[in-house]
C-alpha cells in the first residue's frame, strides 16, 4: 500500500487535502470518488512525484479527459449537486487550461438558459455527435446521470482499444525508423569513402559486382539528389492525402484496407465493432433507431460499411428489417447477421449489439498480438537485410580482388 497526498473538491465545492492509502493511483482515485471527492492532484509520498487527476495537455482535450468530465459530472449530479454548481466544480478541479475554459463556457451557456446538450454542442472539438445525442436522450428521458456514465464508459473503451493498437505497433514502427536511419547514414556517409577504391578497380579493368553498382547508384542518388527525392516523396504524400479526403479516394482507400493481407481482417472487424457498439449504446440510451443508424454509420471509419448502414435507414423507414441491407452488403459476418436477426425479433438489439462488439474487440486483441509477434521478426529481418546489402556491396569487390590476386 502507498500513501497518496491529495487535494480534492467536494460536492459542495469545498477544497480538501489529506492522505489516502491505496495500492495504486487508480485505486486512490476510485476511493476518493466513492467519498464524493474529486481529486485535483495526487502525490506519491515515496517518490514525491505529483500525479494529476487527468492528463494535462494545454493544446487539446483527450478522450480520457472527456470521459472523466462526463463521469465526474454524472457523479456530482447523482449526489444532488445542481447542474451549474457541478460544472463550476469541474472547471475549478481540472488542471487542463483548455478543459477549464470549455467547462466555464458550458457553465455560462447553461446559466443563460441553454440545455446541457446545446451548450456542449458549441464545443464540437470535445464532444462528438454520439455524445450529444446520448446527452439529449438522457435529458428527454430523465436519465441524464446514467447516460453520462455510459458515455464515459464508451469513451474509455474506445481509448483503451486505440491505446492497445498504438502500443502494439509502437515497437515495430520504432524498429523500422531506426533501421532506415542507420541504413541511410551508411549509404550516405560510409559508402562514398570507398569510392576511390572502386574507381581504381574499374581503371584496372576489374569490374564491380552488380550489388556494388546498385549500392553506388543509390549512394550517388541520395548525395546529389536527396533533397529532390525528399520533395518528391513529400509531394506524393501530400497528393495522396488530398486524394483520400475526396469521396472517391476515401472509398478506394477503405476498399484497399479491407483487402490488405494480414491487417485487412483487423480493419474490417474494427469497423464492424465500432458500428455495433455505437448503435447498441445509443439504442440503450433511448436514441431513436433511425438517428442511431445515421450516427453509428458515421463512426465506422469505413465508407463502404457506412453506405450499407445508410441503406438500412431507407429499409427501416419503409418498414423493413435492419438485417436485410446489412446482409446484402457482404461486410457483416454471417454469424453476426444471425445474432442481429434474432435480436430484432426478440427486441433485444441494443444488448446483442454491445455483446457482439465485445466479442469482436476480444478477437481483434488476439489477432493484434499474433500480428505483432509476426511483425517484430519480419522487421528485424528487413533491417538486417538492408544493413547486409550495404556491407556485402562494400566488401564483395574486396573478396573478388583477393580471389583474382590469389
**Residue 12 CB partners (closer than 8 Å, separation 6+):** 81
Q: Is 310 exposed, middle or buried (0-12, 13-18, 19+ CB in 10 A)?
A: middle
* Model confidence at 172: pLDDT above 70: yes
* Model confidence at 231: pLDDT above 90: yes
- The domain total for the chain is 3
Q: What is the pLDDT of residue 278?
A: 78
Residues 18 and 97 both lie in one domain: no
Residues 27 and 98 both lie in one domain: no
128: helix, strand or coil = coil
Last residue of a domain, one of 328, 347, 364: 364
Residues 88 and 47 both lie in one domain: no
Residue 404 falls inside a structural domain:
no
* Model confidence at 80: pLDDT above 90: no
- Crossing angle of helices 247-259 and 210-244, in 10° steps, is 130
Rounded to the nearest integer, the mean pLDDT of the chain is 80
Lowest mean pLDDT segment, chosen from 154-163, 202-211, 317-326, 339-348: 317-326
Residue 243 falls inside a structural domain:
no
Grid coordinates in use for 358?
A: 465485445
Residue 223 falls inside a structural domain:
no
Residue 231 falls inside a structural domain:
no
Residues 21 and 95 both lie in one domain: no
pLDDT tens digits for 348-404?
A: 888 888 888 888 888 888 887 788 788 878 888 888 888 888 888 888 887 776 665
46: helix, strand or coil = coil
Domain, as residue range, for 30: 2-52
Tell me the CATH number at 327: 1.20.81.30
Q: What is the pLDDT of residue 236?
A: 94
Residue 214 falls inside a structural domain:
no
pLDDT tens digits for 269-300?
A: 888 887 888 788 778 777 788 878 887 777 77
Q: What is the pLDDT of residue 234?
A: 93
Distance CA(391)–CA(182), nearest Å, equals: 12
Which carries the bigger pLDDT value, residue 49 or residue 267? Answer: 267
pTM equals: 0.62
- Provide mean pLDDT across the span 56-81: 78
Task: Return phi, psi of residue 114, to 5°.
Answer: -75, 150
Which carries the bigger pLDDT value, residue 219 or residue 201? Answer: 219
Last residue of a domain, one of 90, 124, 158: 158
Q: What is the pLDDT of residue 235?
A: 94
Residues 111 and 46 both lie in one domain: no
Residues 150 and 71 both lie in one domain: yes
Q: What is the pLDDT of residue 155?
A: 84
Residue 313 falls inside a structural domain:
yes
Which carries the bigger pLDDT value, residue 132 or residue 52? Answer: 132
Residue 348 falls inside a structural domain:
yes
Amino acid at each position: 500500500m502507498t500513501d497518496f497526498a491529495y487535494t480534492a473538491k467536494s460536492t459542495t465545492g469545498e477544497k480538501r487535502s489529506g492522505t489516502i492509502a491505496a495500492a495504486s493511483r487508480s485505486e486512490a482515485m476510485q476511493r476518493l470518488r466513492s467519498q464524493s471527492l474529486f481529486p485535483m492532484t495526487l502525490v506519491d509520498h515515496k517518490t514525491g512525484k505529483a500525479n494529476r487527476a487527468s492528463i494535462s495537455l494545454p493544446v487539446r482535450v483527450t478522450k480520457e479527459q472527456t470521459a472523466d468530465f462526463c463521469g465526474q459530472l454524472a457523479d456530482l449530479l447523482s449526489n444532488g449537486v445542481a447542474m451549474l454548481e457541478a460544472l463550476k466544480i469541474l472547471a475549478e478541479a481540472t488542471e487542463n487550461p483548455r478543459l477549464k475554459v470549455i467547462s466555464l463556457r458550458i457553465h455560462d451557456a447553461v446559466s443563460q438558459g441553454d440545455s446541457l446538450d446545446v451548450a456542449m454542442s458549441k464545443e464540437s472539438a470535445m464532444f462528438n455527435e454520439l455524445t450529444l445525442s446520448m446527452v439529449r436522450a438522457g435529458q428527454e428521458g430523465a436519465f441524464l446521470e446514467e447516460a453520462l456514465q455510459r458515455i464515459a464508459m464508451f469513451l474509455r473503451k474506445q481509448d483503451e482499444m486505440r491505446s492497445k493498437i498504438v502500443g502494439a505497433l509502437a515497437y515495430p514502427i520504432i524498429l523500422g525508423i531506426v533501421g532506415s536511419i542507420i541504413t541511410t547514414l551508411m549509404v550516405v556517409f560510409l559508402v562514398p569513402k570507398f569510392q576511390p577504391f572502386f574507381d581504381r578497380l574499374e581503371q584496372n579493368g576489374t569490374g564491380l559486382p552488380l550489388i556494388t553498382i546498385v549500392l553506388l547508384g543509390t549512394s550517388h542518388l541520395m548525395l546529389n539528389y536527396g533533397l529532390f527525392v525528399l520533395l518528391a516523396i513529400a509531394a506524393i504524400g501530400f497528393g495522396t492525402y488530398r486524394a483520400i479526403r475526396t469521396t472517391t479516394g476515401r472509398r478506394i482507400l477503405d476498399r484497399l484496407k479491407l483487402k490488405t493481407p494480414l491487417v485487412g481482417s483487423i480493419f474490417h472487424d474494427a469497423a464492424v465493432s465500432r458500428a455495433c457498439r455505437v448503435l447498441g449504446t445509443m439504442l440503450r440510451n433511448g436514441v431513436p433507431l433511425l438517428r442511431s443508424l445515421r450516427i453509428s454509420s458515421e463512426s465506422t471509419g469505413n465508407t463502404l460499411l457506412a453506405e450499407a448502414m445508410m441503406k438500412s435507414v431507407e429499409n427501416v423507414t419503409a418498414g423493413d428489417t435492419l438485417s436485410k441491407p446489412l446482409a446484402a452488403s457482404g461486410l457483416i459476418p454471417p454469424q453476426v447477421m444471425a445474432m442481429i436477426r434474432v435480436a430484432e425479433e426478440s427486441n433485444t438489439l441494443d444488448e446483442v449489439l454491445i455483446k457482439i462488439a465485445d466479442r469482436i474487440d476480444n478477437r481483434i486483441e488476439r489477432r493484434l498480438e499474433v500480428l505483432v509477434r509476426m511483425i517484430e521478426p519480419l522487421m528485424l529481418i528487413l533491417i538486417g537485410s538492408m544493413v547486409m546489402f550495404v556491407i556485402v556491396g562494400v566488401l564483395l569487390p574486396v573478396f573478388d580482388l583477393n580471389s583474382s590476386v590469389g
